[in-house]
Each structure stands twice: as structure tokens, then as C-alpha cells.
Structure 1
Amino acid sequence: MILILRALGVGDLAVAAPALRGLRAAFPGETLSLAAPAWLAPLVDAIGGIDRIVPAHELEPLADAPVNPQIAVNLHGSGPESHRRLLELEPGKLWAFANRAAGHHDGPGWLDEEHEVFRWCRFARYYGVRCAIDDLDLKRPSVDVPQGMTIIHPGAKSSARRWPPERYASVARRLRSAGHRVLITGSASEQDLCVRVSEEAGLGPDAVPRTGLTELLGLVAAARLVISGDTGIAHLATGYRTPSVTLFGPVSPARWGPPPDRQWHRAIWHGTRSERGDLPGPVHPALLAIEADEVLDAGNQVLHAAASK
């Protein structure tokens, strides 16, 4: 049995798809278990190749994980905490980035400024696992959702990464006037924000659907356009090749942006250096530098590129 730790969020799991598929191909006869939040099961299915989900949350002890896995693979981070969570299970081998504090001297070195997809493919290749950085496509779920919607997703994990709601509302209002059918999406904790954006945009009550992850996957897969901040739904748009515009603030798109060779995905960033993405406090200045006109122009560009591909 191979146990893989990636107990993070939607975007984190989506960008790990190439590494996860590489591990599946490298161990075709082994049970592949993924330690991740249970609510991510629809996305795990969309990636494919995982036999079992072990419920896990970030760096908490892996209480439900089987002990003595043949190989424990740390796709979570650089350590030492994540290394220790896996070492507690007494695996036959630990595949992880080198970390002296965890007593793990094997493995590649961690590079802070590396793109997250490249990072985990480089990691996999170090251990002899073939990994294709462009293997990001996701399987569409079997779910009945409206087709061809334009999705605006105003939320993000930290306040520093949330573009002002009045600017999202301006974009939504103008897109609707241009003939787009607009939905405002967000997590359960972001419903008040979504309602505010919808009301300021003059949209009706049906513009804020209550969706689980399966429905969100379906909506993105069938969407005309996705506009969001640097958060999980942007990576779903990449996985479904849905035209998208992603607004970056503290973190550079060189670390988390869409593939640069796909003209139907556009990252907007006015920063000069990459910082932590979980910064508390006000909206990051790089994000505030983005105006509604720029987002609308980018949206028109990616739709044109998608029509031409």
C-alpha cells in the first residue's frame, strides 16, 4: 500500500494531479491511499487513480491511516511537521523533500519560487516516477447543471487575496449587460459575500446557487467563462480548459498561475515579488491595482482565444 499526504484544499489537489497520476502509473498493482479532507472526494474522482481516501486535515495526526505503508509519499509540503506525521506510521520508505529537522536527508531540495505543478513533478521524477506537467485535465462529473454560464467567484482563503466586492459587482453587471448569464459562486462561509456581489450587480436571487463540490465541478466544466481570485476554482478552470481570468495579489502567477502556453487562461498581476498567500489584513496592493476594465478586456481576450483554438 502506498500512502500519499496532500491534506490541503481544492487548488492544492488540482495542481498535484500530474504527480498523483505519475504515482498511479508507477504502482499499477498497489493500493493508492490519499490522506486528504473527505469533502474533496468529488475532485479525487475527477483526477482518478486513487483507491481510498484517508480523512485528514492539514497537519493533524493521521488517526485513520493504516500503519506500516510500503511507501509514505509527502506531497503536502517541505516538512518537518508533515514528514513527522508520516513517520509516525512507520512506513517502509518515506518519499519527501530533504529536511534536516525531520531527520530526512534523502529527497530533492525545496525551491521556494518554483511553480507548484513543476515542484511536485520534479519531486516525483527524483524518485523515478514519470510525471507530465501538462497532465492537468479533470474528468467531468455526472451532474445536471446549467450550461454556458459565466462564473464569478469573489471569495478566497485570505482577505489579502480578495478583490473588492464592488469591483466584482461592476464586472458582473457589465457582463450581464453584454449578454452573459452570470452566476456568483462561493463556499458556504462566503454566501453573504456572494449575495452582496449579486445584489450590487443587479442580479436575481437565482444568481447565487448553493453548490457542493460536485456541482461546482460541473458548473466550471460547462461554463463559458470563469473570473476569480487566486483560489481553487481557478485551477478547476485550468483542469476543464474553461476560459478564465485569474486575479493575483500577494502571490505571483509564476508560482500558482495557469499554464502560460494556454491563451484561453489569463493571469493578471501587478506585483513585483511573491509573498505569502495567507497574509491577513487588507487587500494586497497588487490586487487593488487591477481595475474592472482590465478584467473585462482579459475576459474578451480569453473567449476569443478559446473560440480560435
Structure 2
Amino acid sequence: MPAGVLADLLIALPALDALKRAYPAAAITLLGRDWHTRFLRNRPGPVHDVVPLPPISGVSSSVGGGAVPDEVYDDLRSRRFDVVVQMHGGGRDCNPFVRRLGARLTAGLCAPDAERLDRWIPYIDHQHETLRSLEVAGLVGAGTADVEPHLSVIREDWSELNRRLGRLPKGLVAIHPGAPDPRRRWPPECFAEVADRLGRPVVVTGTESERDVVERVAAAMKRPGHVVIDELSVGGLAALYAACDLVVSNESGPRHLAAATGTPTVGVYWCGDLISRGPLSRGMHRPLISWTIQCPACDGGSVGSLGCGHRSASWVAGVTVDDVLEQAQDLLR
């Protein structure tokens, strides 16, 4: 079932791997987006093929989207799926969609107001999303002891990286200062200080929507670094992170991407995000946690509330540079 953004796919990878190990002869089809097709093409892993869906409200799109076109149902039913597994949230919108695909068995998550599938577990807040997905895989007999995602970096990824950025210096550290929610962003000057004090070659990565924060980090650095903004595909970015000795990041898709390639990471997390999306092991991945539970700008807004309107105040600014640096240096030893 659909994985929308990068982190969603990577968080679900252990469950997809478990399904493939349990049913090695099965062909796993991911119902996703166009970028999944490009990213997963020729890449070793559990996914056999991808069916990109149009923007469908609550199914393949969290913002906007419309109803499911009849031709989409016709195409998916013609594939005669034996099992459809739903790992895409509580199922209010997804589960009716799943039920209409004509599979012999459906399994997945169900919020209290969601249509029930043949096999289901309740969708309850404050559970790690990887463990949640593994519970869903368990509904159809797939289990695993490996809870971290693993992603192969393929020849096309390395070729793109070499073509775009050329020869990279040894000892490279990547800084990714962006995050979809500005409240989850560590201050740019903190990232810059970490980069300077590590004393290593640094690349600062981001998307076009994060250009401002990326450039603020680069401007605050006393030592020169290389800026990479939307120059690479997801596969090329995976190769870049795989070539690094360390990635320092907010909670974001790129942190999950770096971890999946086997590169050590230091992540700055708000406490609620750590519960649901943090790394599950500590040997190579170190989260630093902010315990802020009220708006730092006014002390008025609480967790889950946007009433105060302070969307840009960082809820993770209390994490210290020294703490991040300590974990980074330990991983680089």
C-alpha cells in the first residue's frame, strides 16, 4: 500500500523485507507515486514493481487529491492480488479503497472509525512506525528480528553522484538542516558550529524549499563547505550519504535515507517524533532529544495545538551543540 514521502517508505522497509523473506516466491507490488517507480527501478530489495497512483485523497495524497477513478480500480483488480497489506495510517480513507481491490485477503491498520479489514490491528498513537508496520506484516505470517531499514546503493546512483559532484574528499560529513515542519528544525547556527568544530570536509544538503535554511548554515560556517540543493535524485542522494562518514540531521527523510545506506547518523529530535520515527538502535545512530512540550515563543501552544500561530519557532533549539558534537565525535572514532 502507498508510502508517500521518503521517510514513510524507508520506515516500512523492514516490514517489506519480512514479507519477502516469509514469501520468497511472491511478487510484492507497491502502490505509490511516480518517484517510487524511478527510485526502486533496478534496485535490489523486496519490491518487485510499483503501480503509481494518481493523487487520491487520503490514499496517495495527504493534501488535495480526488476520488478514485474507475479505471484505477479496474487496473488494480485485473492484477488479481492474493493479499493486500495496508500500512498507511488508520485506514479511514485507505481501507475502503483496499476492500475494493478484490484481494483474497486484506490486512492492516484500523482506527476506531475505519472500515475493518479481514485481519487488522488497532491504530493507536505513540507507537514507532517501523514496529507498527512489522505488526501488520505479522498479521499475514511475516516476522523478523531485523528492525532497521537497509537500502542498496546501485551503479546508477554512484554514476549520477560522480557526474554531478565529481570526486569527493575523504572524511566527508553531511549536514541536513531542513525538515518539513519548521518547528522540528535545529537552528542553522548550531549546525554550522558542529560543522566547524568537527574539522572535516562538509556538504550541506537540502531541497529547493529548504534553500534559505541551507544557505544560512553555509553562511554561518567559518570553514567552507559544499552546498547541494536539489542537484541529485533520491538515488544520487543515497550515494552521497553512503560516501560520507557521518550525517547530522533533523528528523527527516534524508536522515532515514542515510541510515538505510549504512552511514552513521546523529539526529535532532523532538520527543514525540522520537517515539514514532526515531532510530531503533544506538550503535550507529544517535538521537538527541528535545523535551519541549509548549510553544517556545509564547509558552501558550501545547503539543498538537496550532492555536498560538507560532509555526516557525524551533521546538528543538534546546538541544546543545556540545551534546550533538559529543555523539558525532564518538561515531567518527
For the aligned pair, the TM-score class normalised by the smaller chain equals 0.7 to 0.9
Change (3 A) 1:167 1:6: same
State the SS of the aligned residue for 2:24.
coil
TM alignment of 1:175-194, pairs within 5 A: 175=198, 178=199, 180-194=200-214
Please say if residues 108 and 123 of structure 1, whose CA atoms lie closer than 8 Å, have aligned partners that are also in contact.
yes
Contact 1:168 1:197 in 2 (8 A): yes
* Structure-to-structure mapping, 1:1-309, within 5 angstroms: 5-41=1-37, 43-44=39-40, 46=43, 48-56=45-53, 57-58=60-61, 60=65, 64=72, 66-67=76-77, 69-99=81-111, 101-104=113-116, 106-134=119-147, 136-142=149-155, 143-144=158-159, 145=161, 146=168, 148-175=171-198, 178=199, 180-202=200-222, 204=224, 206-208=226-228, 210-249=231-270, 251-260=272-281, 262-271=282-291, 281-285=311-315, 287-304=316-333
Change (3 A) 1:62 1:184: farther
> Which position in structure 2 is the counterpart of 1:307?
none
Q: Deviations over 1:214-259 (max 9, x none)?
A: 1110011121110000111221232122121100025242321112
Q: Is the 8 A contact 1:38 1:55 kept in 2?
A: yes
CA 1:253–1:72 in 2, change beyond 3 Å: closer, same or farther? same
Judge conservation of contact 1:136–1:239 (CA < 8 Å) in 2.
Answer: yes
The structure-2 alpha-carbon separation of the partners of 1:31 and 1:245, relative to structure 1 and needing over 3 Å to count, comes to: same
SS at match of 1:66: helix
Query: Quick check: 95-104 or 55-64, which moved more?
Result: 55-64
1:117-150 Cα offsets, whole Å, 9 max, x none, are 1111112112212233335222122214435420
Between the two proteins, what is the percent identity of the paired residues? Answer: 27
Task: Tell me: CA distance 1:228–1:184, structure 2 relative to 1, closer, same or farther (3 Å).
Answer: same
The TM-score normalised by the length of structure 2 is 0.78
Taking a change above 3 Å as real, the CA distance of residues 254 and 265 of structure 1, as seen in their structure-2 partners, is same
The size of the alignment, in residue pairs, is 295
Q: Distance in 1 between the 2:115 and 2:273 partners?
A: 31
Tell me which residue corresponds to 2:299: none
Distance change (3 Å), C-alpha of 1:53 and 1:267: same
Runs of at least 5 residues in structure 1 that lack an aligned partner in the other structure: 305-309
Q: 1:290 to 1:272 in 2, by over 3 A?
A: closer
Q: In the alignment, which residue of structure 1 is the partner of 2:296?
A: none
Tell me which amino acid in the other structure corresponds to 2:233.
G
Q: Identify which range, 189-198 or 22-31, moves more after superposition.
A: 22-31
**Over the residues paired in the alignment, what is the CA RMSD in angstroms?**
2.8
Which amino acid is the alignment partner of residue 268 of structure 1? L
Q: Distance in 2 between matches of 1:148 and 1:38?
A: 34
Confirm or deny: 8 A CA contact 2:177 2:250 kept in the other structure.
Answer: yes
| SS in structure 1 at match of 2:218 | helix
* CA distance in structure 2 between the partners assigned to 1:95 and 1:124 by the alignment: 8
Could you tell me how far 1:49 is from its partner in structure 2?
A: 2.3
Equivalent-residue separation in structure 1 for 2:226 and 2:18 (angstroms) = 41
The amino acid that maps onto 1:269 is: I
1:265 to 1:277, Cα distance in 2 relative to 1, 3 A: farther
Conservation of the 8 A alpha-carbon contact between 1:195 and 1:208: no
For 1:77, the aligned partner's letter is G
**For the Cα contact (< 8 Å) 2:173–2:245, is it kept in 1?**
yes
Equivalent-residue separation in structure 1 for 2:24 and 2:283 (angstroms): 35
Could you tell me how far apart the structure 1 residues matched to 2:114 and 2:180 are? 28
Note if contact 2:29-2:50 (Cα within 8 Å) is conserved in structure 1: yes
CA contact (8 A) 1:159 1:280 kept: no
